[in-house]
Amino acid sequence: MLKNIPPILSPELLKVLCEMGHSDRIVIADGNFPAESMGKNAIVIRADGHGVPELLDAILQLLPLDTYVEKPVSLMQVMKGDNAETPIWDTYKEIVAKYDDRGNNAIGEIERFAFYEQAKTAYAIIATGETAIYANIMLQKGVVTL
């Protein structure tokens, strides 16, 4: 055991977060996201039974967001024609604001298929059991300063 490490972060996930370098991206995917097919060239970490908000909060305690890009946090945009509501995004905005001074300004939206293409180049994808729709979120790592 380690002190001050959120217990939701598995040893495998901690290793991945440590290995990631500046500008590397990690996807925290909902239960409907095709993590295995999108992650053929990435590390896929299973986090079944966990939701995205809990993992997002734990990860942002350790991982700085990139300050060299305008929107280091990306959400999968709702497809035209889908009457989907995304209340989970409000939770994400609150969590991001706790860890990044830019708050909502650090968050952007990416069209669904463009999100998939970017996910294919992510360093890692965390496959969660999140049941909310359009709950996928991508983080771009920044520089760790001490």
Question: Known catalytic residues?
Answer: 22, 66, 116
Amino acid at 70: E
Residue 27: other Cβ atoms inside 10 A = 27
Q: How crowded is the C-beta side of 28, counted as CA atoms within 13 Å?
A: 26
Angle among Cα 69, 72, 78 to the nearest 5 degrees reads 125
**What does the angle CA 58 – CA 60 – CA 56 come to, to the nearest 5 degrees?**
55
